[in-house]
Amino acid sequence: MQSASPRALGSSKVKEKASEAANSRGHKKSNSPRTSYTKSGGDSTAAPDPKAPKSKSHPRKKMTVRRQASFRLAELYRLAVFYRQEGIRMDPKTWTFVLAATLGAGKPAYLPIRQGRSYVRWPGLTLETLRTAVERCQIGIFTDDQLAALIKQIERWQASHGVHLISATRLGEMLNLTAAEREVCRIRSIDACDETREERKARLAEARKVTDREAKKAKRGRTPREIYEGQSWSVKQPWKEAGVSRATWYRKLRDERETGVSAHHI
């Protein structure tokens, strides 16, 4: 009887040779002490190494000066409309200088908005754009020579100090902007002259706490304090309508609410 072949018996030597051949044809094992698996095609079923450094998220891009100027110009237009409706006087020279300094924050270009889905044209500082801004704010009538002289003044200052916007605190003092006007016109790039930034943050934080507290009460089904106090007898004062004193009215109400002993029938 012939003996079985070594391959059929599955000898250890044959298995070692087959393993070496497979390693030579396929991927080689990693020598890294942290990784105990072999990557194939960029996918792996093993868990990530907790000691491996984590990828840092990309920092948020800083808003350009031209983009900041576009938001400020829209806020100035809203403030000018509010001042005209309320009859508040606007200093023509100050407003013209502010408009010129804002328009001079960048050359004409197209700014992407809504994640690049649409674009808005930034006009830049020219004689035509400055005249358009002055007419839109309705702050007075200026000649072309006056506007051209102001444009040259802005350009000389920017050539020496660089392209910068007027600081939010300084601009609020120049326009005499109050905190109430700032909230009504939804202005965010200009600070109020009668309230510091720290005071504004503290006020908004306190108002947010009150709003959150009232929202929690409403969620639990409680009546807001303003409605409760408005419906109270202390505010309505029904005893005046009845023509009696407060004590008499409460005494009659108490007598009406009291109930006697029910009769027993034997």
Provide block-wise average pLDDT over 10 residues at a time, the chain (266 residues): 44 54 50 44 53 60 83 94 93 94 86 71 88 93 93 90 89 94 92 91 90 80 71 80 85 74 58
Largest CA distance in the chain: 130
Pinpoint the alpha helices (H) of 62-126. Answer: 65-86, 92-103
Determine the pLDDT at residue 39.
43
The 8 Å CB, 24+ separation contacts for 155-160 are 155/104, 155/125, 158/104
User: Domain range spanning residue 114?
Assistant: 65-195
Residue 64 neighbours by CB under 8 Å, 6+ apart? 106
What's the pTM value of the predicted model, to 2 decimals?
0.59
Same structural domain for residues 94 and 156?
A: yes
Residue 40: helix, strand or coil by DSSP? strand
Residue 208 sits in the same domain as residue 103: no
Q: What is the pLDDT of residue 212?
A: 87
Whether 3 maps to a domain, the answer reads no
Question: pLDDT at position 251, please?
Answer: 86
Query: How many domains does the chain fold into?
Result: 2
Residue 2 has a pLDDT of 46
- Rounded Cα distance between 79 and 62, Å, is 26
Both 111 and 213 in a single domain? no
pLDDT score for 16? 60
Q: Which amino acid is at 5?
A: S
CB distance 6 to 13 below 8 Å: yes
Residue 21 lies in a domain: no
Three-class DSSP category at 175 = helix
Q: What is the pLDDT of residue 51?
A: 62
Give domain status of residue 209, yes or no: yes
Same domain membership, residue 189 and residue 200? no
**179 and 195 in contact (C-beta within 8 Å)?**
yes
Same domain, 134 and 207: no
In a domain, 260, yes or no: no
Taken as a whole, the chain contains a residue count of 266
Both 202 and 191 in one domain: the answer is: no
